[in-house]
Structure 1
């Protein structure tokens, strides 16, 4: 696998990620690692006809999580090349099906895209965790969720803002917590007494309109090899669960 690091950062984490990845998988296209100067920029993969691009901030590229972040993005690239429905299904189409006829706040529509990204991450990390250890991922989930719970805005839970971060809205923080639990349970990374459960319960208490157990089940039970229609249904179900079925007074009653 051809990996080229463009930027004044140590290449070892990226080459190490590629070596781990190649124990079970491969990519047809070369990978260009592009280091960004903005420390707040998220890590993400771009896909082109002749290459994949792994975009990462300098801060992330020199962090203790650099190898794991790179491995995660290589897994997204593999899902794109398969091609896996999660990485080719139109999110816009699924949201249209899910939200048609409903009156939904703009912030919730925007956050449905984050939920769709979580679903892509489930399938990427099925690869990531098949070739690499999960301890750092658990620690990452725990630290991110702890920070989001600590930073939650209690007086104004839904600020009128274009920029939504994990800590800016208790509802999406609860969904993020469900995602973290689901990934840990899907791959047997934590036991029942892990601190992640306490943090998730705290996030759920701050977001009574979000059904955290339902989201945890949804993410955890995503079919390993879904058809396009199966994946579309899961995406529609997730959007409806967040934007339509959940209410300010509490989650929809379970069947």
Structure 2
């Protein structure tokens, strides 16, 4: 891997991640990592003909999760080079196939993009989990889910006061399903782990969302799907989220 780090921040987490990643995978294109001061720019990846570009905030680059974030992004870069269906399939096409003729809330469409990103993230993480300790990843999921559950709306907190996507119970339940599915896919949890209780709370707060269905779909993603099967699975998961029980009537 040809990796270059610029900006005001440490290069060590990224070079260390590259050394780990190279034990099983490689990247043909150069990787340019730019560390910026802006805390809102946690991570952003772009690609051109010969370079992968990762922009990351200094806050993220100096965090305890910096190496894991880098490994995660290297996974995305590898799938991009390989033309993996999860990284080349247009979500707009999926939405068209899944929802033509339907009137859909804007927030639901926004959530569909997040669900698609969860699928991409699972495939990216499949490449590096096993190369490095995962305790920090599990703690990250636990703390993120705990914050989202604590931030959920209540009877005295009307919808217009929701300031972040995490406060929406529907997508919080899907996020919990994603976190559990990824952890179970790689056997990272004991059955008594606190994240299970947090997930039960998230699922209870969103009874219209098929939590177990989403967990199963995320966990059971085909490791090597062809384009047709992947498109079909994304159409199904999109309909499951947007239409729910209505889908059965179709």
| Alignment TM-score, normalising by the size of structure 1 | 0.92
The answer to whether residue 48 in structure 2 is matched with residue 48 in structure 1 is: yes
Deviation at 1:140, TM superposition (A): 0.6
In the TM superposition, 1:1-255 aligns within 5 A as 1-155=1-155, 156=157, 158-159=159-160, 164-165=164-165, 167-245=166-244
Cα separation, 1, equivalents of 2:92 and 2:130: 30
How far apart, in 1, do the equivalents of 2:53 and 2:21 lie?
A: 16
CA gap 1:235/1:225 in 2 versus in 1, 3 angstroms: same
**Distance between the aligned counterparts of 2:9 and 2:79, measured in 1?**
27
Q: Give the deviation of 1:246 after TM superposition.
A: 5.3
Distance in 1 of aligned mates of 2:158 and 2:222? 33
- Supply the distance in 2 between the matched residues of 1:157 and 1:212 (Cα, whole angstroms): 23
Structure 1: 4+ residue segments shifted above 3 A: 155-161
Tell me the CA shift for residue 36 of structure 1.
Answer: 2.7
Give the RMSD, CA atoms, in angstroms. Answer: 1.7
Gaps in structure 2 of 5+ consecutive residues: none
Check the 8 A contact 1:4/1:33 in 2, yes or no: yes
Within 1, Cα distance between the matches of 2:89 and 2:11? Answer: 33
Q: Identify the structure with the greater helix proportion.
A: 2
Extract unaligned runs of 5+ from structure 1. Answer: none
* Cα distance, 1:159 vs structure 2: 3.5
Q: What is the aligned residue count?
A: 247
